[in-house]
Amino acid sequence: MSAPLALTLGEPAGIGPDITIAAWRRRGEFGLPPFYAVVDADFLAQRAERLQLPIRVTSVEPEAAAAVFASALPVVSLGMRVTAQPGRPDHSSAPAAIASIRRAVADVMAGRAAALVTNPVAKAVLYQAGFSAPGHTEYLAQLAQQATGKPTPTAMMLWSPELAVVPVTIHLPLREVPGRLTVELIVDTARIVARDLEARFGVARPRLAIAGLNPHAGEAGALGEEDLELVAPAVERLRADGIDARGPLAADVMFHAAARSTYDVALCMYHDQALIPIKTLAFAHAVNVTLGLPFVRTSPDHGTAFDIAGTGRADPSSLIAALRLAASIASGAPAAAASGR
């Protein structure tokens, strides 16, 4: 990997600045790859002072980031003043977060950065400022489509050495999940996952475990028809495509150690079905990976944590894992899949 990683600001009132500073300070301990933060340099220096973590912040262009990384935290300037205080988003929050994403994506698409790592944003703050995308990932897909002229369907994978999971539906009320699930959605999501696991994670023939929606995968229809009508046909289509998929599987027996050793990723039908097991197994070091983009994007698997921003209590472990995983994938020597294959 010759180019550095681009790290976005995220919500400036959240813990993104805190964990950026903490990760850079532990760069030697974890062998972190060179990265630069797309942020207002004065803002980041002020946050470091508040945290009583003295660091040197240096404004650079991306091409110079690697050269100064050992002695200073490289910053590519946003060109705007950021005034948000910890835990208190203000009028500068949304414009700064959006500008940071746009600049970082532009750098990755132009080859000035090897991969994108994003700090968490506060969607409510963005929505109040007129942000029209449903979320962070959808916005990245829009920017990719604008740059390439091609539709960019994506999937969200939560990855750790212990387990990788993909929710087929994401941020929906539970009562809406059965109505949103379709055979096509399951198949399209699985195809994205299989393709990127092979191309970016080095898994020669990914093994996909497909969870059922209902308890006991519907118990042959006794506990719901969705597994017979939606999940089973999707698995059949995937297998016809040559994808190693099996299911629908009873979700309550998919995540113990022996079961996890039989697959590379678990596709789950709704948010908590996927995120509860991985956050139980790998709460501090799981990484959010966006599959389907024309560039590598990882993110910490947590939110803005307004309540602890600026206190020094934020744990940088997930950001450190996201930086390391992004660099590994971008270098062509990706981390092992969850199964260790």
Residue 192: count other Cβ atoms within 10 Å of its Cβ.
19
* Beta carbons of 309 and 87 less than 8 angstroms apart: yes
Residue linked to tokens 């006991």: 216
- β-bridge mates for residue 297, sequence order: 116
Domain residues of the chain, as ranges? 1-152+293-341, 154-291
Average pLDDT of the residues of the chain: 93
> What's the pLDDT band for 338 if we cut at 50, 70, 90?
very low
Q: Give the pLDDT confidence score for residue 238 in this predicted structure.
A: 98
Phi/psi zone of residue 292: left (φ > 0), alpha (ψ -120 to 50 degrees), beta? left
Domain 1-152+293-341 has CATH 1.10.1060.10: no
Which 8-state DSSP code applies to residue 147?
H
The SS3 of residue 117 is: strand
* Beta carbons of 224 and 218 less than 8 angstroms apart: yes
Query: Stretch 181-192: mean pLDDT, rounded?
Result: 98
Distances in Å between the alpha carbon of 4 and those of 16, 162, 239? 19, 27, 39
Q: Give the pLDDT confidence score for residue 341 in this predicted structure.
A: 33
> What's the pLDDT band for 336 if we cut at 50, 70, 90?
very low
Number of H helices, E strands in the chain: 14, 12
* Beta carbons of 198 and 205 less than 8 angstroms apart: yes
DSSP-assigned states of every residue in 31-70? TPPPEEEES-HHHHHHHHHHTT----EEE--GGGHHHHTT
Residue type, 286: A
Q: Give the pLDDT confidence score for residue 1 in this predicted structure.
A: 61
Domains 1-152+293-341 and 154-291 share a fold: yes
CATH T-level topology, domain 154-291: Isopropylmalate Dehydrogenase (3.40.718)
Buried b (16+ CB within 10 A) or exposed e, 85-98: ebbebeebbbebbb
